[in-house]
Amino acid sequence: MKTLLKNCKYIVTQNSKRQILENQDVLINGNKIEKIGKNLKADETIDCSQNIVMPGLINLHTHIGMQLLRGIADDMHLKDWLNKKILPAESKLTPDKIYVASTMAIQEMLRTGTTCFNDQYISMNKVADAVKEIGIRAFLSRGLVDIDGKNPTEKRLKETDELANHIKQLKSSRISFAVGPHAPYTCSKNLLIKSQKLAKKYNVLNHIHIAETRKELADSLKNYGKRPVEYLESIGFLDKKVIAAHCCWITKGEIKTLAKRGVSVAHCPRSNMKLASGGIMPLKELQEAGVNVGLGTDSAVSNNNLDMFEEMHTCALVQKHNYWDATVAPAQTVFDMATINGAKALRINAGSIEKGKLADLVLLDANHFLLQPLEKNRIISHLVYSANGSCVQKVLVDGKQII
Amino acid sequence: MKTLLKNCKYIVTQNSKRQILENQDVLINGNKIEKIGKNLKADETIDCSQNIVMPGLINLHTHIGMQLLRGIADDMHLKDWLNKKILPAESKLTPDKIYVASTMAIQEMLRTGTTCFNDQYISMNKVADAVKEIGIRAFLSRGLVDIDGKNPTEKRLKETDELANHIKQLKSSRISFAVGPHAPYTCSKNLLIKSQKLAKKYNVLNHIHIAETRKELADSLKNYGKRPVEYLESIGFLDKKVIAAHCCWITKGEIKTLAKRGVSVAHCPRSNMKLASGGIMPLKELQEAGVNVGLGTDSAVSNNNLDMFEEMHTCALVQKHNYWDATVAPAQTVFDMATINGAKALRINAGSIEKGKLADLVLLDANHFLLQPLEKNRIISHLVYSANGSCVQKVLVDGKQII
């Protein structure tokens, strides 16, 4: 079936020229964008004369199964937060609760303009079921931890195989399986190496947390005599399939390694600030080295919402703040992070509005008060610095209207 | 007339015990809260069974006349931003445009839960007219600058008198006049002293920017041999009527002075971060010294929206980030800043839901997805870390429903 987004007031294409088009149509054929132009025709038409049409936002790092825990623990030191609040609460999360949490989180993401997310958590079969049902796009990995001795490495790897099989059975091109070794400090060397092999075997992404806290850095130096990225490089873990969340505490040398190996980084500024990680991912140096950087919300326990507009806003602010330089992280750069850079990291043909791309699209209310005064050359600024998820009116994933 | 907020699902009282009440009524008589309890009666009833009722937010520092300039200048060094973009654009702002900007900004504030704001700008008669018409509460001051030589001190002071007269003629208890010397680096010593006397004469607030940037600090040391607060103290400027915006670059000695003089500070974290002021207002030390600190958005040019929920969120995040301590700026502290601390600074009987207080109230949609899971002990967390202005459903100012 063909669907036409008719007479779009503005189209934020995010193509290579970053064009913003006025009063044009977007023709969708099945799950892809077939054409952009004037006076196009289709079976079904959506009037977009009062809409800004933009690519769906891509949340490159989250744990949506934690959604029910929002607000149970804030303003605490990381160790207390984790040991006294999060781990006890997590131990009570049944698969059914994970399913409920997932449906809530997916609704929140869609309503706030996110069309695709990259997740790592527990009971991922249930997350996959919710994704299948509601219609968002997702990359799902079972979080793997074995260093505590409670979880044998082989058991973890088996669970990963089971998730791969479950997702295969769901038969949806929207749902992808990924491997998810939790972090260099929670996984044995054996698990990290086997995860990497598994990602190679399945030809899928390898989603990991790297260098989130000072403690992780200090422990890594103590245990391995190497910084986290150096350690992972030394065991052959890093390659183009790796998505590394956080990267707050990394050196220029480590940045060179990330660039050389083609690793993508998921920046989670609000989570890092809330948990007082201290370090902030060095955007300028990563960009200069050519590392692909996307944006993620992390979970609703450390954020506490999944609104990628607010994440963009805070990203721009904290980067400027950290460098004492208002020219760092300009609006277009940040909007790229939340769209095309995310798509690049996930290796999907999305993140911009161009012929042949996936029809993952967001229609904003052009009359929303947060978007005024509305002018072509102010749109990117408004999207990053003023808008939030409440500006979202309609959302399409895979060419289908979900919201 | 009496209005009843009937069967409120939750009431965030912000009283001295910070109680959150369940299933109680709020009785409003005229512009004040008469009683809180069960089974109360009134002429007019608003069903609040699906609402969280909270005190209206107080924006302690903004320039709403700049609203039309939102998005014209971002990601620029402060000097270029001001000289190449803002000043030329401001020179084209006619009183009529200031009126339009004000109506837009007031609508945005009300819709996002702000019931009172403290403003300093130009064409303030027009801002006052918009405030009168729409029904928000406001403190308005004409921004005074004379150090450029273009504006004689006496002319500025005369404009201030004119604004006082205009506001008097509007005969609204919602609109208060204030004196507004712009900053120690833009006002002559003479203007600062006369402003202070004028505030004393009228018995009104004295609204000023202090220590926003490193340059201001360096220039102050160069020109006066004193830091900004030290300089203002040396000329007898500081007292309980002063509201000092920013205070990013202040020492512990200056904090002692602010505490001794009873000055209130308006923290504007998003503006400071966006303009890369570098310094962040030292909340912990100010609190320890007993300084009253509220929260402001600054203008839509340096923010770029007036949503105080987002300001609270960023305030909590950047304070934790700056101290490398997640326990700094806990949710309740930040919510206090945006409510009762603002009221204290402005010397109005508001900011909490108690008998005798002004009925400036916000009704949130208790079913909004950003407020889930909704539990009594998670509400303050949700308000600070997850909510934004889109959770606001109804707003009352002075006992009248405006939104």
Find the CATH number of the domain harbouring B364: 2.30.40.10
Cα–chain-centroid distance for residue A350?
Answer: 13
Instruction: Report the pLDDT value the prediction gives residue B241, as an integer from 0 to 100.
Output: 97
Exposure letters B224-238 (e unless 16+ CB within 10 A, then b): bebbbbbbbbeeebb
Instruction: Report the pLDDT value the prediction gives residue A155, as an integer from 0 to 100.
Output: 87
Cα-based distances in Å from A356 to A8, A32, A96, A114, B194:
19, 6, 38, 20, 67
> Which positions in chain A touch B111 (Cβ < 8 Å)?
369
Give the rounded percent of residues in chain A with a pLDDT score beyond 90: 95
> What's the angle, vertex CA B322, arms to CA B387 and CA B343, rounded to 5?
50
pLDDT in tens, B179-191: 999 999 999 999 9
Total beta-carbon pairs less than 8 A apart between chain A and chain B: 169
Give the rounded percent of residues in chain A with a pLDDT score beyond 70: 100
CB contact under 8 A, B372 and A76: no
ipTM above 0.90, yes or no: yes
Contact (CB, 8 A) for A370 and A387:
yes
Instruction: Report the pLDDT value the prediction gives residue A32, as an integer from 0 to 100.
Output: 98
Instruction: Report the pLDDT value the prediction gives residue A206, as an integer from 0 to 100.
Output: 98
- Which residue in B185, B190, B196, B175 sits closest to B119, CA to CA? B175
Cα–chain-centroid distance for residue A128?
Answer: 16
Report the alpha-carbon distance of residue B403 to residue B388 in Å, rounded: 16
Quick check: A1 pLDDT over 90? no
CB contact under 8 A, A75 and B329: yes
CB contact under 8 A, A369 and B111: yes
> Which positions in chain B touch A77 (Cβ < 8 Å)?
325-327
Confidence label for A152 from pLDDT (cuts 50, 70 and 90): confident
* Count of C-beta atoms within a 10 Å radius of residue B288: 12
Closest A-chain CA to B111: A369
Tokens of B267: 């923290």
Q: Are residues B249 and B396 in the same domain?
A: no
Instruction: Report the pLDDT value the prediction gives residue A327, as an integer from 0 to 100.
Output: 97
CB contact under 8 A, B71 and A318: no
In this structure, the strands spanning B114-121 and B57-62 are parallel
- Which residue in B389, B388, B391, B392 sits closest to B403, CA to CA? B392
Confidence label for A153 from pLDDT (cuts 50, 70 and 90): confident
Quick check: A147 pLDDT over 90? no
> Which positions in chain B touch A307 (Cβ < 8 Å)?
370, 388
pLDDT in tens, A273-308: 999 998 999 999 999 999 999 999 999 999 999 999
CB contact under 8 A, A321 and B316: no
Confidence label for B28 from pLDDT (cuts 50, 70 and 90): very high
Q: Are residues B30 and B167 in the same domain?
A: no
Q: Under DSSP, is residue B136 helix (H, G, I), strand (E, B) or coil? A: coil
Q: Are residues A252 and A384 in the same domain?
A: no
Contact (CB, 8 A) for B392 and B361:
no
- A218 min Cα distance to partner chain B (Å): 16
Q: Are residues A30 and A168 in the same domain?
A: no
The distance between the two most distant Cα atoms of chain A, rounded to a whole number of Å, is 65
Report the alpha-carbon distance of residue A114 to residue A243 in Å, rounded: 18
Tokens of B356: 């005798």
Quick check: B115 pLDDT over 80? yes
Report the alpha-carbon distance of residue A224 to residue A208 in Å, rounded: 18
Exposure letters A358-387 (e unless 16+ CB within 10 A, then b): bbbbbbbbbebbbbbbbeeebbbbbbbbbb
Tokens of B83: 């000289």
Q: Are residues B24 and B65 in the same domain?
A: no
Question: What are the beta bridge partners of residue A295?
Answer: A267
> Which positions in chain A touch B270 (Cβ < 8 Å)?
317
CB contact under 8 A, B317 and A70: no
Domain boundary among B309, B327, B346: B346
Task: Give the contacts of A197 (CB within 8 A, at least 6 positions apart).
Answer: none
User: Mean pLDDT, to the nearest integer, of A113-127?
Assistant: 97
The DSSP-derived string for B36-77 is EESS---SEEEE-TTEEEEEPEEEEEE-GGGGGGTTSS-S--
Instruction: Report the pLDDT value the prediction gives residue A46, as an integer from 0 to 100.
Output: 97
Cα-based distances in Å from A233 to A228, A236, A292, A318, B211:
9, 5, 18, 29, 46
Instruction: Report the pLDDT value the prediction gives residue B149, as an integer from 0 to 100.
Output: 76
Cα–chain-centroid distance for residue B316?
Answer: 16
* Cβ-nearest to A330 among B75, B278, B318: B75
Report the alpha-carbon distance of residue A276 to residue A213 in Å, rounded: 9
φ, ψ (nearest 5 deg) of residue A176: -115, 145
Closest B-chain CA to A384: B304
Tokens of A2: 């063909």
- Which residue in A157, A165, A154, A156 sits closest to A128, CA to CA? A165
Report the alpha-carbon distance of residue B194 to residue B157 in Å, rounded: 8
CB contact under 8 A, B386 and A300: yes
The total number of structural domains that make up chain B: 2
Quick check: B148 pLDDT over 80? no
* This model's pTM is above 0.95: yes
> Which positions in chain B touch A274 (Cβ < 8 Å)?
316-317, 320, 326, 385
Instruction: Respond yes or no on whether the N-terminal peptide bond of residue B373 is cis (omega within 30° of 0).
Output: yes
Q: Are residues B41 and B171 in the same domain?
A: no
- Which residue in A53, A116, A114, A58 sits closest to A364, CA to CA? A53
Closest A-chain CA to B331: A75
Q: Are residues A20 and A167 in the same domain?
A: no
> Which positions in chain A touch B330 (Cβ < 8 Å)?
74-75
* Cβ-nearest to B314 among A314, A328, A373: A314
User: What is the CATH classification number for the domain harbouring A292?
Assistant: 3.20.20.140
Q: Are residues A94 and A157 in the same domain?
A: yes
Give the rounded percent of residues in chain B with a pLDDT score beyond 90: 95
Domain boundary among A346, A361, A392: A346
Contact (CB, 8 A) for B298 and B273:
no
Closest B-chain CA to A274: B317
CB contact under 8 A, B77 and A300: no
Q: Which residue has the tokens 């850079």?
A: A341
- Which residue in A164, A162, A208 sits closest to A186, CA to CA? A208
CB contact under 8 A, A321 and B378: no
> Which positions in chain A touch B327 (Cβ < 8 Å)?
75-77
CB contact under 8 A, A326 and B275: yes
- B307 min Cα distance to partner chain A (Å): 9
Instruction: Report the pLDDT value the prediction gives residue B221, as an integer from 0 to 100.
Output: 98
Contact (CB, 8 A) for A252 and A258:
no
- A101 min Cα distance to partner chain B (Å): 10
Q: Are residues A245 and A318 in the same domain?
A: yes
Instruction: Report the pLDDT value the prediction gives residue B247, as an integer from 0 to 100.
Output: 98
Instruction: Report the pLDDT value the prediction gives residue B343, as an integer from 0 to 100.
Output: 98
Quick check: A158 pLDDT over 80? yes
Q: Which residue has the tokens 């002063």?
A: B242
- Which region holds residue A168: left if phi is over 0, alpha if psi is between -120 and 50, else beta? alpha
CB contact under 8 A, B74 and A381: yes
User: Mean pLDDT, to the nearest integer, of A187-191?
Assistant: 95
Confidence label for A151 from pLDDT (cuts 50, 70 and 90): confident
Q: Are residues B197 and B251 in the same domain?
A: yes
Mutation target vs A (from B390, B392, B393, B395; most A CBs, 10 A cutoff): B390
Q: Which domain holds residue A8?
A: 2-55+353-401
Domain boundary among A346, A364, A392: A346
> Which positions in chain B touch A310 (Cβ < 8 Å)?
310, 313, 388
> Which positions in chain B touch A300 (Cβ < 8 Å)?
386
- B37 min Cα distance to partner chain A (Å): 28
pLDDT in tens, B210-254: 999 999 999 999 999 999 999 999 999 999 999 999 999 999 999
Confidence label for A403 from pLDDT (cuts 50, 70 and 90): confident
Q: Are residues B70 and B44 in the same domain?
A: no
Q: Are residues A200 and A294 in the same domain?
A: yes
User: Mean pLDDT, to the nearest integer, of B136-152?
Assistant: 90
Instruction: Report the pLDDT value the prediction gives residue B367, as an integer from 0 to 100.
Output: 98
φ, ψ (nearest 5 deg) of residue B282: -80, 85
